[in-house]
Amino acid sequence: MSAPSSPHSSHAAAQPLSIRASGPLRGEVAVPGDKSISHRSLMLSALAVGTSQISGLLEGEDVIATAAAVRAMGAQAERLGPGEWRVSGVGVGGLLQPTQALDMGNSGTSTRLLMGLVASHPITATFVGDASLSGRPMGRVIAPLSDMGADITPAPGGRLPLTVRGLYPAVPIRYTLPVASAQVKSAILLAGLNTPGTTTVIEPVPTRDHSERMLAGFGAQLTVEPTPEGRVIMLTGEAELKPQTIVVPGDPSSAAFFAVAATIVPGSDITILNVGLNPTRSGLFAALRAMGADIEEVSPRTVGGEPVADLRVRHARLTACDPDPAAAPSMIDEFPVLFVAAALAKGTSRIAGIEEMRVKESDRIATMAAGLTAIGVSVEELPDGLVVHGRDGEPFAGGGPIATRLDHRIAMSFAVAGLHASAPVEIDDAAPIATSFPNFLPLLRTVGAAC
């Protein structure tokens, strides 16, 4: 199958952004639905027999790419209203041959997880993406899926465009993750759904566990056991998934930007509503509290098997941090905005053990180092992290334009930095923010930001 060019491959026209300090941030915000849970809700609903209802779905470009892909493989995914979706599944084993390449836009999660779905079905699918996604290596998911029998042909360097020829019946494997990755774990488990026998994944370092929680919720036979070698996850294949009613909690990765903003801007007091606090995802809030942040959990509750609370965050003076690398998987997407917090702390923060950040939407270590330097922060780049010399609350100098490298989290992190800067912070392109948080800038304005 030939791979047509992706409509996302040349990014839309750049949207420069200037953001400046505007005084205290006040009020309530409701962040979009959790991105990880949104992706998985669509995929597992597409494999269930019957109709699932989803509310609170994140409607950023990444999740919409997943919705389009499951439609292309036979599921019916219908938007009923803002965040409200109805999905009629084809059943495990029932995916249909897509008639054209699956355009993943900028979404690495969509790509890796859907590769797992296709790998154990007797279909062939070609994955394409934008320039940023096409530069990201897929080798760590290609290896286990190939062990299961899928025939995968990537572009040079294990990159997109990439074609997966699934095998049925696929071969169950026992696989120890060489690098902590929820995406690789999830791809193997999703492939295991249509694989006879038991598929086993061993996690030496725990990663976000939304896939395990949701697979069990949909009726898959799955066990998770702590052992000396790590978490052992065993899935019995040829599953029959039952449709569900899913309420997606607010995304902690999106909430992180407002938590840091309220922490660093003097006089601020923000409540972030309905935030998912899954312990495999909430490392950023623990790190901020260790630095002295004032974060209060209000009305803690459980929604759909996930812990949720409202977070009240007030301005606080921060001290430097040296986070445990073992906690990195629980906050891997939040390190860019943690660097911003560290840059305003008292003392020097050494944040290491996060080499995974070099293969995200951009090389986030190098990109953040360059951007922080441009707004007056002294940093030292490490192979696996950054040393950040804090300014003890002194505003950033401002400046730019900051190169975001088509990375939504870089753009949002420097927007937050601009809220406590002596001069405006200029960002070269805010357009990528739409991939995960389409209403980020309007929400910032509602609590008093000037952007």
The residue assigned the tokens 């990014």 is 11
Distance between CA atoms of residues 129 and 37, nearest Å: 21
* 409 appears as a binding residue in the annotation: yes
210-217 vs 182-192: helix axis angle to the nearest 10?
Answer: 30
* 136 appears as a binding residue in the annotation: yes
Other CB atoms within 10 Å distance of the CB of residue 296:
11
* 183 appears as a binding residue in the annotation: yes
* 40 appears as a binding residue in the annotation: yes
Q: In this structure, are residues 408 and 63 in contact, taking their beta carbons and an 8 Å threshold?
A: no
Other CB atoms within 10 Å distance of the CB of residue 129:
27
Secondary structure element (H or E) that encloses residue 264, with its range: helix 252-264
* 76 appears as a binding residue in the annotation: no
Active-site residue flag, 322:
no
Other CB atoms within 10 Å distance of the CB of residue 316:
18
Secondary structure element (H or E) that encloses residue 245, with its range: strand 245-247
* 333 appears as a binding residue in the annotation: yes
* 36 appears as a binding residue in the annotation: yes
222-227 sheet: strands from edge to edge: 174-176, 198-203, 230-236, 222-227
- Sign of the torsion angle spanned by Cα atoms 157, 162, 163, 169: positive
Which residue of the set 130, 209, 310, 333 is catalytic?
A: 333
Other CB atoms within 10 Å distance of the CB of residue 229:
10
* 108 appears as a binding residue in the annotation: yes
The residue assigned the tokens 């071969």 is 171
Q: Strand 269-276 and strand 26-30: pairing?
A: parallel
Q: Which residues carry out catalysis?
A: 333
Annotated binding-site residue numbers for 3-phosphoshikimate: 35-36, 40, 181, 183, 333, 360
Annotated binding-site residue numbers for phosphoenolpyruvate: 35, 108, 136, 183, 364, 409
